[in-house]
Amino acid sequence: MHDTPPLVPDFTSWPSFPFEGDFRVKHLEDPVPVEPPRKGEGSRECTACAAPDDAYIWVGERWRVRAMDRPTGLPMVLILESRSHLDLGDLPNLLAAELGVMTVRLEKAIRSLDGVARVHVNRWGDGSAHLHLWFLARPYGRLQLRGTFLSLWDSILPPISEQQWRENLAMVAAWLAEFGGRPLAEPPRILWQAPSSIGAQVSSSVAASEEDGVGVIEAAEEIPEPEVDEIDQPEVGPSTGGPAGDR
């Protein structure tokens, strides 16, 4: 009797797998004769080329580093992009050598943040023809997040505070600027107030929250789902909501 293949792969039983319960493998679709163009291929606009420098946290002569548009579950998620519209296999020797240097610098910068144990470096490339590498910080002590499912956990974990997120961005940008380029991320400003005005502001903030408050499910439904070709990952922000797609 022939062995029957398992219904699900072994990794569903790994401690790092984010889900539990019954699963079944999707039906494998037939291959398409011609793959659709990615962003920046054919007549499709390249969003990286069209993005201004102020959309990034650090910019240099040949490289730029951008973040997600909001905090996500991991301490830091960043994307390293080339300025030139090139994919990984198209890099000339100079940029290929610099890619290694920039990868090491950015990894060290992220790993220098408090609470970061490891930095995962990923490149998928199915969503965009413009070279971009993902850098995902794994929180210290969170052993369940080790390995290949870190990008999924980024979309599952509650987002870190915006203040901590902005502080982390500013620190990474300043770290990179020690070697050149221009840091564009700034730490959050401290709003100094007289004690008598603090209570009034808190009361008004609470009232506004109660009046305009939206549940998590309702808020998520207001955010349009990204198109399949917008994520070349695993687009989980970044699109950029988190690394659940390519990103």
Residues 6+ apart with CB under 8 A from 47: 39, 40, 128, 130
pTM as predicted: 0.73
Per-residue tokens: 125: 């490339």
Strand partners, 139: 116
| Model confidence pLDDT, tens digit, residues 46-90 | 999 999 999 999 999 999 999 999 999 999 999 999 999 999 999
Percent of the chain surpassing pLDDT 90: 55
Question: How confident is the model over 96-124, as pLDDT tens digits?
Answer: 999 999 999 999 999 999 999 999 999 99
Lowest mean pLDDT among 13-17, 60-64, 181-185: 13-17
The H-assigned helical ranges of the chain are 47-50, 93-111, 150-156, 162-177, 195-212, 216-222
pLDDT of residue 228: 45
Q: Residue 244's CB: how many other CB atoms inside 10 A?
A: 20
pLDDT of residue 245: 44
Domains (range + CATH), the chain: 55-188+231-247 (3.30.428.10)
Please state, rounded to an integer, the average pLDDT across all residues of the chain. Answer: 80
Nearest-angstrom CA–CA distance, 91 and 156: 35
CB burial of 15-47 (b: ≥16 within 10 Å; e: otherwise) equals ebbeeeeeeeeeeeeeeeeeeeebbbeeeeeee
Q: Which of 157, 141, 146 is nearest to 243 (CA)?
A: 157
Taking the alpha carbons at both ends of the chain, their separation in whole angstroms is: 44
Pair of tokens at residue 100: 């290694």
Average pLDDT over residues 185-190: 78
Q: Is the predicted pLDDT of residue 234 greater than 50, yes or no?
A: no
Order of strands across the sheet with 116-122? 116-122, 132-139, 77-82, 63-67, 58-59, 182-183
